[in-house]
Chain A
Amino acid sequence: MTLRFRRPEAHAGDLIFSWVLRGAAMGLPALLFSIAFFLFQRAEPAIAKFGWGFFTGSVWDPVQENFGALPAIYGTIVSSFLALLLAAPLSIGTALLLTEVLPRRLASAVGFLVEMLAAVPSVVYGLWGIFVLVPWLRQSLEPALARNLGWIPLFSGPPYGVGMLAAAIILAIMIAPTITSIAREVFRAIPRQQREAALALGATRWETMRLAVLRSGKAGVFGAAILGLGRALGETMAVTMVIGNRPSISASLLEPAQTLSSVLANEYAEAASDLHLAALVEIGLALFAVTFAVNAFARLFLWRRTLGRSAR
């Protein structure tokens, strides 16, 4: 009896196919690199003119061609962190509710709604911000804040409606689904035995969540928050529409401000002088570098570690 095996031959087709795919793959790191390169190249005139002073200068005057990015950097950082402060507890709470409390069917329905929140286009958030959120802030929340907490510089000044607070709230709404769905994944990856260990010790439902879920998922939840922060830092349209776009640094959250991305959205298409354009690209470069660093940090250090653990 003879069995005939056809020996696998090195097909030319296989070689071509794998090299085409490899080329497509190689294009991606190359793309990231060329984004950085193009930004750097086009920002060069501004870098040459202002040096590090660009990041510490607080005057942004296209007419005088004097460009300092500090107000935009300040606005980006403050609005993003404030958004994180608002969104993180709410999102983590929602994720806990979805994985630990609600029955499966209801949880997947609510989870679906949360994901719909992530699918709403940024410009629609902005429109809603201008015509619903901002008037409410101006007429209700901000006067109340100023009345009761006005002695804190954070809440002083006239209620414009538009401003840092409006931007932070709208960012919080937008990053909540990101944080929620990642935190949900983290909680889901925690083995059942952890929860049963807590229950068997006589823990209540909340104590079980705290002990078996929150404490075990701490690193992953932190990673989720950082990814949410990364999204907030780069978000453009909705923020541009509600932040008021004023290049100033104010202690009050009720005052208008600007962010790196809102400056770009407002001025880039209309910038006339080369230096103005270069300064705007440098702002873009700064934004790129910061979001890249934040996201790379989240993925390389936090995300992989927690996923690695849960995969074990």
Chain B
Amino acid sequence: MTTTSPFLLETRGLSAWFGNAQAVKPTTLGCAANTVTAIIGPSGCGKSTFLRCLNRLHEEVPGARAQGEVFLENGPVYGPGVDPVAVRRKIGMVFQKPNPFPALSILENTVVGLRLAGVRRKNVLRELAERSLRLAALWDEVKDKLDQPGMSLSGGQQQRLCIARALAVEPRVLLMDEPTSALDPVSTARIEELVTELKKEVTVVIVTHNMQQAARISDRTAFFLLGEVVEFGETSRLFTNPVDPRTERYITGRFG
């Protein structure tokens, strides 16, 4: 795919409000294709809100709005007449707490996005389900119990099911909002491993409160503080040689 911008996903002056309170100040960032971008910062710094603006989920909260520009493959995400539903199909999302649909089986959970998009044929659904469950490194664990409820899985497995669910509709970008904060260390390690694998398929933007995690899995890192990007750059550089003194204070744990 040829693009005029070096970035697959790009924000220009993106800001977000809850009512009159500004949660994200104008932010300009770019994520190159097939990279992992980590967003770190103390809680309440607007990093999750920023993430939720990228797939236009922020605006679903009553009283919330966003301003500025987001481009996906050079297409405006906030342009006039752009359908947020179409945007969300191209930008998948995984949440803090695993949230498979309780009434659906593992298989149904995986293919629910495809169903919405109108894929009806059973064998096609099954094939695509297997593909995304393999991508999410869950296939071997669930292939014999696809008809059991999604809720019957362990927390870590549920989160990988949610990743499979998001991947099934073949998004260009996968947003992850602290995907391991509700999981035990072993499950966390599996998800981290998975993220580096997934880079081949999608561009990942991951919000994390865990700096080690950001350092382990991301290519570039943005440090948010009080709704604003303090520093954005190569992960290795940012963690070893931060430019801004606030970044340094945060990564050395001497903050606040």
Contact = CB atoms under 8 A, between A and B. Distances in A.
Interface string B120-131: 000000000000
B101 A193 contact: no
A117 interface: no
Contact of A199 (B57, B103, B112): B57
A57 B104 CA distance: 47
A7 interface: no
A280 interface: no
A239 to B, nearest CB: 36
B117 interface: yes
Contacts of B95: 193, 196-197, 200
B103 A201 contact: no
Contacts of B85: 202-204
A309 interface: yes
Given A201-B169, A202-B88, A309 B113 contact: no
B60 A196 contact: yes
Interface residues on B, range: 20 to 34
Nearest to A104: B62
B247 interface: no
Contacts of A201: 88-89, 92, 112-113, 116, 165-166, 169
Contacts of B88: 199-202
* Dominant SS among interface residues on chain A: helix
Interface in A277-298: none
Interface in B88-140: 88-89, 92-93, 95, 97, 99-104, 112-113, 116-117
Interface in B31-86: 55, 57, 60, 62, 85-86
Contacts of A218: 103
B56 to A, nearest CB: 9
A216 interface: yes
Contacts of B165: 197, 201
A67 to B, nearest CB: 47
A216 B102 CA distance: 6
A197 B99 contact: yes
A200 B104 contact: no
B102 A309 contact: yes
Contacts of A197: 95, 99-101, 162, 165
A216 B165 CA distance: 17
Contacts of A103: 62
Contacts of A104: 62
Contacts of A207: 116
A103 B93 CA distance: 26
B101 A200 contact: no
Contacts of B97: 193
Interface in A74-103: 103
A212 B101 contact: yes
A150 B57 CA distance: 52
Interface of A: 103-104, 191, 193-204, 207, 211-212, 215-216, 218, 309
Interface of B: 55, 57, 60, 62, 85-89, 92-93, 95, 97, 99-104, 112-113, 116-117, 162, 165-166, 169
10 contacts: A193-B95, A193-B97, A196-B95, A197-B95, A199-B60, A200-B55, A201-B88, A202-B86, A203-B116, A218-B103
